[in-house]
Structure 1
Amino acid sequence: MTPADMHDWAARYLGLLHLERREPSLAALTEITRAHVEKVPFESISSILRRSETPHGPVPPLDSEQILETWIARRGGGVCFEVTLMLDRLLRALGYSTFPVLARIGFPGSHQANLVELDGRHYLVDAGNGAPFSEPIPLEQTVEIRRAGLAYRFRPTAATVTWQDRFIDGNWQPFAEYTLTHADERTQETAYQLHHTIGRSWVVDNLVLVRCTDDHVWSLRDAELRQFTRDGKMVRQLADASEYRAVAADMFGVPALPIDAARAALAARLSAEAPSGRA
């Protein structure tokens, strides 16, 4: 992109977030992080369809202009690799010192986030985790986040390593190990393709949608819809296509999400994998 194109792209991105352009500051970065978590849902539908449209070999690289158009049209959100790419470009366009970092949840580089250096301090912006991380996380100290009845902890264990723990069944359990150095592009690409490998990653094997606010977390995985608040959890099963479409529009804020196409792609794959029943 030319500088003029980048300025226009950033302006449209800020418009999506309902924010004005501001000089880099912790307050401005917090506004961006909070708006992003609330307005851009975490979802695997885009990845399922990307794999379906390119059934063999590597899937095509991400296109930041195409992603922004999709978000503005409320046709989708993304998982960590879309969100990290987009925030990296937005923050750099706004004058922040930032770079992508990798984390291990399953395989190396299976998660990505953004590290921002601001006023001599380092912050993790993890807006593509499917969790209510609505503010930059300072990396020089242990931080606990409690929202919607859920609890998370970030704890540094070395100069360039931070762990994310989750409070599950009454105990803190390790969830993700972040390496706080500039992400290696080869590892990023390998992880991106692995996430699009059928049978290797939930990103293309499961239909997932998550939206977070300070008070609520809505989570859909395949047919199970969960809603978390500080008062507890509610769970129900979705039964038909109209319910999926209604939930995508009303709970997750993406009325144009091609959720029918993603469900059809998953169903076709399962049908192809099923035994024929012939002797």
Structure 2
Amino acid sequence: MFDAARYMERIQAPADASLATLHRAHLESVPFENLDIHLSRPIRLDTDALFDKVVTRRRGGFCYELNGLFSRLLTARGYRVTPLSARVASDARDGTFGPEFDHLTLQVEDGGEKWLVDVGFGEGFLEPLRLDERGVQTRAGRDYRLAADGAGLLLWRDSEQGWEAQYALSLVPRALEDFTGMCHHHQTSPESIFTQRRLCTKATPKGRVTLKEGALVITEGKERRELTVLDEDSRRRALAEYFGVVL
């Protein structure tokens, strides 16, 4: 059963946390990971099941799980939340995108403004973006911008290679159950990036820690360390030590 107080404890957020504080606390506490897919454990878009996984068992998940559950917490705290569908860029520069419902993100109304909230995109923005702003928005030292794209928006992120598209965002209101089909696809299709390799990543106060196939990558500011992870025992130890994940 959903318990907002236990969820707040899970993400180590104070009772009076703002939307931005909740967003960042979530990203620094709950990893983006696809491990259940590689353990052949079905993912169901059910709030009780998601709460048990993320809060009770202290796991992470991918966008449908993390944003789906986070929307429930925000609603419990009085925010008006609207799930939105996004199509993830297949290549950051060639203008191709995935299908509708490829990614679940959130529109949240707070303080008379609409915000783009996303705790399920791996290495994404750490604090919400203003949905109605078309100029550059800087979050934790990285620049983002939302550009008009027909009836929707394109999310761009600045990088060393220049501006890169992240996803094409539809502003049509959706419901969590609308994402069931693509959630199943990403769990089962050999074409899905989530079935091709394991990943566990989480923001930290100083940067990011990522466990990928064969390596643990730790970034702090501009410093990057990559440690070889050769076997499954080492992988399990890294999951427990850096992410608090025990399978």
Q: TM-score, normalised by structure 2?
A: 0.84
CA–CA distance in structure 2, aligned partners of residues 161 and 133 of structure 1 = 19
Name 2:120's counterpart in structure 1. 128
Work out the number of aligned pairs and report it: 237
CA–CA distance in structure 2, aligned partners of residues 185 and 63 of structure 1 = 9
The CA deviation at 1:10 is 1.4
The one-letter amino acid paired with 1:134 is L
When Rg is computed on C-alpha atoms for both structures, the one with the higher figure is 1
Contact 1:140 1:156 in 2 (8 A): no
- SS where residue 196 of structure 1 aligns? helix
Name 1:76's counterpart in structure 2. 59
- The 5 A counterparts of 1:132-211 are 132-141=124-133, 142-145=135-138, 147=140, 151-158=142-149, 161-183=152-174, 187-211=178-202
**Structure 1: which 5+ residue stretches go unaligned?**
54-58, 259-279
Counterpart pick for 1:86 among 41, 64, 69: 69
Contact 1:37 1:132 in 2 (8 A): no
C-alpha spacing 1:186/1:88, structure 2 compared with 1 (3 Å): closer
The CA deviation at 1:208 is 0.5
CA–CA distance in structure 2, aligned partners of residues 144 and 236 of structure 1 = 33
The CA deviation at 1:69 is 2.6
CA–CA distance in structure 2, aligned partners of residues 140 and 11 of structure 1 = 31
C-alpha spacing 1:18/1:186, structure 2 compared with 1 (3 Å): closer
Alignment pair present for 1:46 and 2:40: no
The one-letter amino acid paired with 1:181 is V
The CA deviation at 1:232 is 3.4
CA–CA distance in structure 1, aligned partners of residues 176 and 10 of structure 2 = 28
CA–CA distance in structure 2, aligned partners of residues 145 and 224 of structure 1 = 30
C-alpha spacing 1:19/1:169, structure 2 compared with 1 (3 Å): closer
- SS where residue 68 of structure 2 aligns? helix
Bigger share in helix: 1
- The 5 A counterparts of 1:5-16 are 9-16=3-10
The one-letter amino acid paired with 1:199 is P
The CA deviation at 1:79 is 0.7
Superposition RMSD in Å: 2.4
The CA deviation at 1:72 is 3.2
The CA deviation at 1:17 is 2.0
Q: TM-score, normalised by structure 1?
A: 0.75
Counterpart pick for 2:45 among 62, 72, 76: 62
Identity of aligned residues (%): 27
Contact 2:127 2:139 in 1 (8 A): no
Alignment pair present for 1:235 and 2:218: no
C-alpha spacing 1:145/1:46, structure 2 compared with 1 (3 Å): farther
CA–CA distance in structure 2, aligned partners of residues 187 and 69 of structure 1 = 22
CA–CA distance in structure 2, aligned partners of residues 208 and 240 of structure 1 = 15
The CA deviation at 1:45 is 0.5
CA–CA distance in structure 2, aligned partners of residues 247 and 145 of structure 1 = 32
Name 2:12's counterpart in structure 1. 18
The CA deviation at 1:157 is 1.2
The CA deviation at 1:160 is 5.0
The CA deviation at 1:84 is 1.3
